[in-house]
Structure 1
Amino acid sequence: MLNRKKWLLKGADRLLPWVRRVPFVVQRVALQQGLNRALAEPLRAGEFEVLRERWLCLRIPDIGVCWYLTLGDEGLRVAERATAHVTISGNWREFLLLASRQEDPDTLFFRRRLVIEGDTELGLALKNLIDSLDPDVLPVWLWRNLERAGKGLAAQ
Structure 2
Amino acid sequence: MLNAANLLLRAGAPVLPLSRHVPFIVQKLMIEKAMARLFAQPLEEGEFDVLQDRWLRIEVTDLGLGWSLTRAEKGLRLEKHSPVNVCIRGNWKEFLLLASRQEDPDTLFFRRRLIIEGDTDLGLAIKNLVDSLDSDLMPARLWQLISWLGAAAKEQNGLVAAGARA
| TM-score where L is the length of structure 2 | 0.91
Equivalence map 1:21-32=2 (5 Å): 21-32=21-32
Alignment match, 2:122: 122
Over the aligned positions, Cα root-mean-square deviation in angstroms equals 1.0
Deviations along 1:61-113, one digit per CA (max 9) or x if unpaired, are 10000100001011000001101100000000000000000000000000000
Work out the percentage of aligned pairs sharing the same amino acid.
52
- The answer to whether the 8 Å contact 1:42/1:137 transfers is no
Moved over 3 A (4+): none
Q: Which runs of 5+ in 1 are unaligned?
A: none
Structure of larger gyration radius: 2
Alignment match, 1:91: 91
The one-letter amino acid paired with 2:38 is A
Matches of 2:36 and 2:147, distance apart in 1? 20
The one-letter amino acid paired with 1:36 is A
Matches of 2:50 and 2:122, distance apart in 1? 7
Answering whether residue 74 of structure 2 is matched by residue 74 of structure 1, we say yes
| TM-score where L is the length of structure 1 | 0.96
Q: Which runs of 5+ in 2 are unaligned?
A: 157-166
The one-letter amino acid paired with 1:29 is L
Alignment match, 2:33: 33
Question: Which is richer in helix?
Answer: 2
Matches of 1:66 and 1:126, distance apart in 2? 17
Equivalence map 1:1-156=2 (5 Å): 1-156=1-156
Matches of 1:2 and 1:58, distance apart in 2? 28
- The answer to whether the 8 Å contact 2:2/2:151 transfers is no
